Amino acid sequence: MANHKSAAKRARQAEKRHLRNVSGISAMKTYIKKFNSAISEKNTERTEDLFKSAVAYIMKLASKNIIHKNNAARKISKLAKLYNSIK
């Protein structure tokens, strides 16, 4: 446990941020899984909506430094490649 008041506060803040980051990453994975399931069903209109929302959410996480910008770019590129393959 922290010995100083400021260290205890930093530990509390780090735990809050950790929970927020884990939640965001989990939501991102859910977006990607929904997109992939729509791709496998060949549902083009649903795929388009899911693609846009997944890309927007991934970019949002990257802008908040929850995931690295190159990681976000790699995920978006992979989604775009799949999306363009069914068009």
Rounded CA separation 28/17 (Å): 16
Q: Is 70 part of a structural domain of the chain? A: yes
- 71 lies in a domain? yes
The answer to the question of residue 54 being in a domain is yes
2/56: higher pLDDT: 56
What CATH number has the domain bearing residue 55? Answer: 1.20.58.110
Integer Cα distance of 71 and 62 in angstroms: 8
| Domain of residue 80, residue span | 26-86
Residue 12 lies in a domain: no
- Residue 18 located in a structural domain: no
Q: What is the pLDDT of residue 2?
A: 83
Q: Quick check: is 1 in a domain?
A: no
| 14 falls within a domain | no
> Is 52 contained in some domain?
yes
Does residue 43 have a pLDDT over 90? no
> Would the pLDDT of 87 be above 80?
no
User: Cα separation of 13 and 80, whole Å?
Assistant: 36
The number of folded domains in the chain is 1
